[in-house]
Amino acid sequence: MERVNYTVLTEFILTGVPHPPGLRTFLFVFFLLIYILTQLGNMIILITVCTDTQLHARPMYIFLGALSVIDMGISTIIVPRLMMNFTPGIKPIPFGGCVAQLYFYHFLGSTVCYLYTTMAYDRYLAICQPLRYPVLMSAKLSTLLVAGAWVAGLIHGAIQAILTFRLPYCGPNQV
């Protein structure tokens, strides 16, 4: 009879992709620079959309501001953990941290998909029905559509995280 390990895992060890030790510093600095530039670019878009009062009533800019917030969140979820893998030593991630990272990745990733769909519909209305566009798409409706995308993303992220972490994790903890 074969023995099975039923010990519950409390952390995962991310082994990552092997790379030469001399390349670690370069990759760390490179990804840090990309992360900072991404955050600055999105912050500039967000500040521009929020401070210019003429852009508040235009649906396209409401969608663009929401997209910038989501992009800042997604890069904040992924890049710091990626950069930690370029530091020497064992890099365990607690089980709760893994749950949170997976949830927010699914939440923001699916919110982006829903927001892109909404933006495509907005552009369809603007191009195919330009005379009726102001009546069909108002700032209030675009705000409601953005809120709907966020709620749908929350639900999707919760479902994915719950279903993923209901599975038994009792094998090797190296990913």
CATH code of residue 45: 1.20.1070.10
The first and second tokens of residue 46, run together, are 């967000």
The Cβ-side half-sphere exposure at 97, using a 13 Å CA radius, reads: 13
Say if 119 falls within a structural domain.
Answer: yes
- pLDDT at position 150 is 97
Say if 1 falls within a structural domain.
Answer: no
Say if 111 falls within a structural domain.
Answer: yes
Give the integer Cα–Cα distance in Å for 72 and 80. 12
Say if 11 falls within a structural domain.
Answer: no
- For residues 12 and 174, the answer to whether their CB atoms sit within 8 Å is yes
- For residues 14 and 175, the answer to whether their CB atoms sit within 8 Å is yes
Give the integer Cα–Cα distance in Å for 35 and 138. 34
Say if 161 falls within a structural domain.
Answer: yes
For the chain (175 residues), the mean pLDDT of every run of 10, in chain order, is 57 64 83 95 94 84 94 93 77 81 94 96 94 90 95 96 78 57
Overall number of domains in the chain: 1
Q: Where are the beta strands (DSSP E) in the chain?
A: 11-13, 92-94
Say if 126 falls within a structural domain.
Answer: yes
**Containing structural domain, residue 58:** 19-165
- pLDDT at position 99 is 86
- pLDDT at position 85 is 77
If we measure between CA atoms, which residue out of 39, 34, 27 comes closest to residue 83? Answer: 27
Residue 95: CB atoms within 10 A of its CB come to 16
| Predicted structure pTM score | 0.81
Say if 133 falls within a structural domain.
Answer: yes
Say if 171 falls within a structural domain.
Answer: no
If we measure between CA atoms, which residue out of 14, 13, 119, 121 comes closest to residue 66? Answer: 119
- pLDDT at position 25 is 83
